[in-house]
């Protein structure tokens, strides 16, 4: 990365609050560094990060990819080549500018019409785009492979999210071992979310340092039920305080 952007990837088992934590990271960065350029990338097909951040997504990267793939499959090679060269510009149409950060949704996972040239080109475009930002925060699917394949191979900070369940810890252990093979990263740490029994945290066999244990947050749950974004959370919310502690320990804040 030309400008030494900090690339923070959040990964973990589904249903442990990964997306909410990711949204908190974006908010805390935007508040702490108003002069910095921050990019939030939603690499989860559910596009939950957009809801958590109050972003209205009209176009995903997959929409761009599919329009190119459709042209290839219809034999319109010239049009496909033109679309491919345009993709670099069209990605800016998919970029949503919000107060304090920009947002990009990757869209659904590759399935029909998986066209490797298009995929690798779009990944390259994301890398170029990320080079214009100081901080890139990526909310991924449960695994790390999809981030490596569809978004980028280099991350600086890998945050593994789990709850107190054995299954959650097993998932982050697997992600850690896969990440060790697939991606280059500088710092790694775990966040234990929705903690109901703090005494058990010390007994958990996490594969990496536990940065913070966040208690179940009633304020956050009420906020979520009302359909409000993380940007509406009170500054002293348990969730924000926990994420802030983790970011300070891993030297992001």
- Provide the pLDDT for residue 2: 47
Write out pLDDT tens, residues 83-96: 777 777 888 889 99
- Provide the pLDDT for residue 65: 82
| 1 in any annotated domain | no
- Provide the pLDDT for residue 64: 85
47 vs 183: CA distance, rounded Å: 23
- Provide the pLDDT for residue 36: 97
CATH value at residue 41? 3.40.50.300
Specify which residues 42 forms β-bridges with: 105, 139
Measured CA to CA in angstroms, residue 188 lies from 90, 125, 132 at distances of 33, 26, 24
> Mean pLDDT: which of 110-119, 180-189, 217-226 is highest?
180-189
- Mean pLDDT, rounded, of the chain: 88
> Mean pLDDT: which of 124-128, 190-194, 196-200, 228-232 is highest?
190-194
Write out pLDDT tens, residues 153-177: 889 999 999 999 999 999 999 999 9
- Provide the pLDDT for residue 250: 96
pLDDT at 9 exceeding the cut of 80: yes
240 vs 238: CA distance, rounded Å: 6
| 224 in any annotated domain | yes
- Provide the pLDDT for residue 112: 57
Domain around 68: 6-249
Q: Which of 44-48, 96-100, 198-202, 227-231 has the lowest mean pLDDT?
A: 44-48
Q: How confident is the model at residue 24 (pLDDT cuts 50, 70, 90)?
A: very high
Helices 238-249 + 218-225 axis angle, to 10: 110
Measured CA to CA in angstroms, residue 246 lies from 75, 141, 191, 211 at distances of 51, 21, 7, 5
| 93 in any annotated domain | yes
Q: How many domains does the chain have?
A: 1
184 vs 155: CA distance, rounded Å: 6
What would the mean pLDDT of 181-202 be, rounded to a whole number?
92
252 vs 117: CA distance, rounded Å: 35
Write out pLDDT tens, residues 101-132: 999 998 876 655 556 677 777 788 888 888 89
200 vs 212: CA distance, rounded Å: 13
- Provide the pLDDT for residue 1: 40
């Amino acid at each position: 990365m030309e400008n030494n952007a900090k690339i923070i990837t959040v990964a973990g088992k589904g249903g442990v609050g990964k997306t909410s934590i990711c949204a908190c990271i974006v908010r805390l960065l935007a508040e702490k560094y108003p002069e910095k350029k921050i990019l939030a990338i939603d690499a989860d097909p559910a596009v939950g990060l957009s809801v958590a951040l109050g972003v209205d997504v009209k176009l995903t990267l997959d929409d761009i990819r599919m329009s190119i793939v459709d042209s290839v499959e219809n034999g319109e090679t010239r049009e496909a080549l033109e679309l491919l060269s345009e993709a670099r510009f069209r990605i800016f149409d998919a970029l949503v500018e919000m107060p304090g950060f920009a947002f990009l949704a990757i869209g659904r996972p590759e399935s029909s019409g998986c066209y490797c040239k298009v995929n690798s080109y779009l990944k390259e475009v994301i890398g170029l785009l990320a080079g214009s930002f100081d901080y890139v925060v990526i909310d991924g699917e449960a695994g790390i492979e999809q981030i490596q394949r569809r978004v980028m191979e280099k991350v600086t900070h890998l945050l593994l999210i789990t709850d107190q369940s054995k299954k959650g810890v097993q998932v982050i252990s697997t992600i850690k071992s896969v990440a060790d093979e697939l991606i280059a990263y500088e710092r790694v740490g775990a966040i234990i979310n929705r903690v109901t029994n703090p005494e058990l945290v010390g007994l958990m066999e996490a594969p990496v340092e536990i940065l913070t244990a966040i208690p179940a947050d009633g304020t956050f749950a009420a906020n979520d039920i009302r359909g409000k974004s993380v940007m509406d959370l009170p500054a002293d919310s348990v969730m924000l305080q926990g994420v802030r502690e983790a970011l300070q320990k891993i030297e992001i804040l």
